[in-house]
Structures are given as C-alpha cells and as structure tokens.
Amino acid sequence: GENVEQHPSTLSVQEGDSAVIKCTYSDSASNYFPWYKQELGKRPQLIIDIRSNVGEKKDQRIAVTLNKTAKHFSLHITETQPEDSAVYFCAASNNDMRFGAGTRLTVKP
Amino acid sequence: NAGVTQTPKFRILKIGQSMTLQCAQDMNHNYMYWYRQDPGMGLKLIYYSVGAGITDKGEVPNGYNVSRSTTEDFPLRLELAAPSQTSVYFCASSYGDRRQETQYFGPGTRLLVL
C-alpha cells in the first residue's frame, strides 16, 4: 500500500516569511494529493489539492507543486500570518488515501 | 447543510465496555470513512464504505466494526474497549467514483479508555 512521509515535523517562521512542507510517497500509481489544515482541537479541512496531470497549483498565498518522477510534492505558504499556525497534513491516494504524520507550523508575530 | 456530524464529542469508557460512535452526513455523499488520530500523529483509516450495505477494512480495523444501512449514517462500534483505543475519532465523507475526491470531516469524538 501507499506510504507517505512528511517533513519537517515542526516548523517555526516569522510572520511574513515563507513556509515549505515536503512529502514523499511510495505508490507511483497515486494520482490525487490533498493538503489539510488542522487547527488545535478542530477537524482537518482541505486547503488545496493537486492531481497527477498538473505540476503546480496556486490559490492566493498557498501553492502546491508535484514531481511525479521523484514522487514528492510540497506545500508553499507565502507571506505567512499568525492565523496560518496549525498542523498541516499531506495525503496521497490511488483509491487508498494515506496521510503523512503532519507538520506543526508556528508563525511568530 | 449541517455537513458531517458526530456524537458524542467526548466519552470516557472503562476497559471492556462497548460503545457506538455516531456519524451522519447530509450531503448525499456515497463514500464515508472512519479515522483515528493519536496524539501528534496523522490519520489512520479504520473502515470505509462506498455506499449503503457496502463496507471495507482500512489500515487499522481490529477492535472495531461498522455498518452502513443508509446513505446518511455510518456508525462505528467498539467492542471490549482497550486503552490502545484511546484516540480522537474522525468521520469523513466524499462524493465520487473513487476515493480521490475531497473528504469532509466531522468535528471528532475524543475517546478515553481507562
């Protein structure tokens, strides 16, 4: 089955800086890659996703890039704000979605 | 729409007790899922369902059972609770032919087994 590794496990940045979270996956047949944000005590919520026929997708301050050859994908957050502080999960799916262990992002004002 | 709802929000069980975690969705989604999230960890799939009457095991099904008698409801049953089942349980749903669409999560049920 699919195995997803996520790095780093914790990330601290200054407000206004960029943050990058990276994930690798093992199943070359995986073709759907969502990113979820989970605030403390809340449910995970989708923030952006990408499919394997696209290399990059952007939505305002967040973007995701996908390298199918290397089997890795990344989340990029620019101009970070304190409200971006949360745990971010990547996932990969080919009819069997697996989640990474999460990255705790702290944005310091 | 209420989206995905879960009850209860929090429960304490004694070892060996049983309980049912309730999940309902009003979005007419065909797929429903149960995950557990241990502290500082990601989400592990327990069971999922592709529609009423059809369920299948995920990564960590041992100690749990599910049923799907309607499109809306997907209860998770814990028999003989063990401390290892202490976790936060999330129900989710999605719509589509394959499990590659956005999953919408419920608010979670925090379970403590003592």
CA distances from B105 to A36, B2, B18, B24 (A): 10, 12, 24, 11
Q: Across the interface, which of A44, A51, A96 has its CB nearest the CB of B99?
A: A96
Q: From chain A, which residues contact B within 8 Å (Cβ)? A: 1, 6, 31-32, 34, 42-46, 49, 51, 89, 93-102
B63-95 pLDDT per residue, tens: 999 999 999 999 999 999 999 999 999 999 999
Two tokens, residue B2: 């209420």
CA distance A80 to A102: 18
Provide the β-strand partners of residue B12.
B112
For chain A, give the percent of residues with pLDDT over 70. 100
Cβ-based contacts of A95 with chain B (< 8 Å): 98-100
Judged against a pLDDT cut of 90, whether residue A96 lies above it is answered with: no
Put simply, the answer to whether A102 touches B40 (Cβ < 8 Å) is yes
Cβ-based contacts of B56 with chain A (< 8 Å): none
A8-26 pLDDT per residue, tens: 999 999 999 999 999 999 9
Residue of B23, B35, B90, B103 to mutate, testing the A interface (most A Cβ within 10 Å of its Cβ):
B103
CA distance B53 to B29: 14
Mean pLDDT throughout A88-100? 90
* String of DSSP letters for A51-78: ETT-SEEEETTEEEEEETTTTEEEEEE-
Put simply, the answer to whether A101 touches B42 (Cβ < 8 Å) is yes
Name the minimum distance, in Å, from the CA of B111 to any CA of chain A. 13
Listed residue (B45, B113, B35) closest to B79, CA to CA:
B113
Put simply, the answer to whether B100 touches A95 (Cβ < 8 Å) is yes
Amino acid at A99: F
Amino acid at B109: T
Q: Residue written as tokens 């952007």?
A: A58
Mean pLDDT value across chain B:
94
